[in-house]
Amino acid sequence: MSYNEDYEKNISHDNSDAFSQSKSKKVINNDIDEESLSDASSYSSGALSTTQLTGFAKFIDSFKPINFEEDGIDTSKMSAIEKSVIANSRHPLARRLKSRHLQMIAIGGSIGTGLFVGSSYALSLGGPAGMLIGYVLVGYSMLCVIFSLGELSVQFPVSGSFNAFFTRFVDDSWGWTLGLLYACSWLISFPSELVACALTIEYWNETVNPAVWVAIFYVIIISINFFGVKGYGEVEYVLSFIKVLAVVGFSILGICIISGVGEQGYIGGRYWHNPGAFNHGFKGVCSVFISAAFSFGGIELVALAAAETQNPRKSLPKATKQVFWRITLFYVVTAIIIGCLVPYNDPRLLDGSSSEDITSSPFVIAIQNGGIKVLPHIMNSVILVAVVSVGNSSVYGCSRTLASLAAQGLIPSIFGFIDKAGRPMVAIMFTNLIGLLGFLVSNNNQDTVFTWFFSVCSLSSFFTWMAICFTHLRWRWALHAQGRSLDEVAFVSPMGTFGSYTGAIILFLIVIGEIWVSIWPIGDGVSAETFWQNCLSLPLLILMIIGHKTYRKSWRRIMIKLEDIDLDTGRRDVDLELLKQEIAEEKQFLKSKPFYYRFYRFWC
């Protein structure tokens, strides 16, 4: 009997779920099939009162607010942070994501324009070695971030995930500031991906007004999100599968071309010697970091979906461990292959001064250099799929973050509106409204507009990732301060606190390097414009934290005391003795297995 089969009965019963009693009710809604019976918790408190409706009437009824009651909890004497913890743990998002959705989102969810097109900047500015170093450093730090976030999300699968953790374990000013910056990054990404869709189509047809393509893909993406988290999960499952196949196929093809298949003959490491392994020296390596962050962006979506997952204790550990293989195979290996196939001085590559063009993708250039006629069109189709996928994730990531902030009382409560289908509809509609900026594709100044939009959240990914590492450390310190141990932690990060320390340090040094190269950019003297374009989010972050603490009059408490951190609310496993017993049995089971099996379970 396998490990999963041996313990799935204990793990998957989820008998301590805050809504577990509602799961025993008979569900007769036509929208819920047998596989979705465990989602009944998200329809509790009267949400199924209209189960006899059918057809269009049922569709219209699904947009009505869910009847979510407080169940007699007295919050009058609670602090703002305590109310926030309660609200996030009870936010009624639909739990419809299955393990297969989470697995595929983990493997291919963040493969998008950052990898397919953004790698063009990385190769042009840093050279093949500079790009590889940048991807390895950011990749290692992301591995630390995801393992830390996985430990927290399995323990507390609450609405908003890491955004809620910032408020819970550090301070509500952290949660407000970093949550808004994270939401803004997805909010701005949505219209920019619509523009990218139009540019991708122009590879085949330049006669049609690009605004037409923006309109078509806008309708497609917002329609997907109207189907709720299950629609998002199914679409991402298919799109991620296509992207994974494309990257694996390109890697195989790339190795063949490097080995001599194609018009160029044997390539090997030719371009690492001429024009060279590095471009622009150390500044070139630092310039790769922003591109790498763009490529890895969205890798944390796995944890963001924790509140909408049927059984996070079973599916989230597997999904987080997939990150190691994704970083290794899809970023590091791909960076090596691209560096061997395309010289960094190829004029078709993006260098920061030329306008963005999908044909500048090193994936397309590598295939064209190999003399293969049809595959560039196939690769461009894959890029289009990736762009749609990122646009879809933009609506999901922004809407869930806004809904979480509203649940915490950090932004207007209207954004926390949840309908009977478990959709944060107001947050989704707000994100869709900002998506209309995609029609700027017809404006000659659209590059300038989006450059300054992105400057608002230019470094926000690094800040978010550093905050996740720090929050994980605060969680571990709080356990120790309150006399509790890892025996009650359902999933322990394989890298432990060492990963959080080293990940945060590397990310901090990357930010310092990015500030340096922004003040003294490659090929220029001191540039205030480049600094503000690349680092506007830094002073904005500081001002937002100061402003929020001043507004809340909370300067007496910089951070929550470790002894006061709530370590229990929001757990799905509230019977600690039963949980400890199950964890001890799992550890004993693993000890009885050979080394290769334990090694496999550690990384897979």
DSSP sequence for 26-54: PP--TT--GGGGGGGGGGTTTTTTTTT--
Q: For the CA atoms of 68, 71, 74, 75, what is the dihedral angle to 10 degrees?
A: -30
Count of other CB atoms within 10 angstroms of residue 75: 11
Structure tokens at 152: 């927290």
Closest by CA position to 439, among listed 185, 190, 117, 224: 190
Structure tokens at 321: 């461990």
| pLDDT score at 35 | 38
Token pair 């310039």 in the structure block, residue: 287
Spatial CB neighbours of 538, under 8 Å, sequence gap ≥ 6 = 459, 511, 515
Helices 528-535, 537-552: inter-axial angle, 10-degree rounding: 60
Structure tokens at 58: 């049922």
Beta strands (DSSP E) in 106-152 are none
Count of other CB atoms within 10 angstroms of residue 584: 11
For the chain, the first-to-last Cα distance in angstroms comes to 18
φ/ψ bin of 166: left (φ > 0), alpha (ψ from -120 to 50), beta (otherwise): alpha
Q: What span, in angstroms and rounded, lies between the C-alpha atoms of 282 and 295?
A: 20
Per the CB < 8 A criterion, the answer to whether 320 and 150 are in contact is yes
Helices 375-407, 425-435: inter-axial angle, 10-degree rounding: 130
With 0-12 / 13-18 / 19 or more C-beta atoms within 10 angstroms meaning exposed / middle / buried, residue 524 is exposed
Count of other CB atoms within 10 angstroms of residue 198: 23
DSSP-H helix ranges across 305-413? 312-326, 333-341, 362-369, 375-407
State the number of CA atoms in the 13 A half-sphere of 318 facing the CB. 16
The most distant pair of C-alpha atoms in the chain lies apart, rounded to whole Å, by 75
Count of other CB atoms within 10 angstroms of residue 500: 26
Structure tokens at 597: 């099996």
Evaluate the CA torsion angle 324, 330, 331, 335 in order and state its sign: positive
DSSP 156: -
DSSP-H helix ranges across 345-374? 362-369
Question: What's the helix, strand, coil split of the chain in %, to 5?
Answer: 70, 0, 30
Length of the chain: 604
What pLDDT digit, counting tens, does each position of 452-511 carry?
877 777 788 899 999 999 999 999 999 999 999 888 888 889 889 999 999 999 999 999
With 0-12 / 13-18 / 19 or more C-beta atoms within 10 angstroms meaning exposed / middle / buried, residue 528 is exposed
Structure tokens at 202: 């122009």
- The residues of the chain scoring below 70 in pLDDT are 1-56, 58-97, 99, 103, 106-110, 159-161, 305-308, 310, 351-358, 572-576, 604
Q: Is the peptide bond before 275 cis (omega within 30 degrees of 0)?
A: yes
What are the backbone angles phi and psi of residue 563, rounded to the nearest 5°?
-70, -20
Q: What domains sit in the chain, N to C, each tagged with a CATH number?
A: 97-485+496-572 (1.20.1740.10)
Q: What span, in angstroms and rounded, lies between the C-alpha atoms of 372 and 174?
A: 51
Q: For the CA atoms of 110, 112, 118, 119, what is the dihedral angle to 10 degrees?
A: 80
CA distances to 83, 102, 333, 447, 561 from 77, in Å: 9, 38, 55, 51, 19
| pLDDT score at 114 | 79
Per the CB < 8 A criterion, the answer to whether 347 and 189 are in contact is no
Global pTM reads 0.82
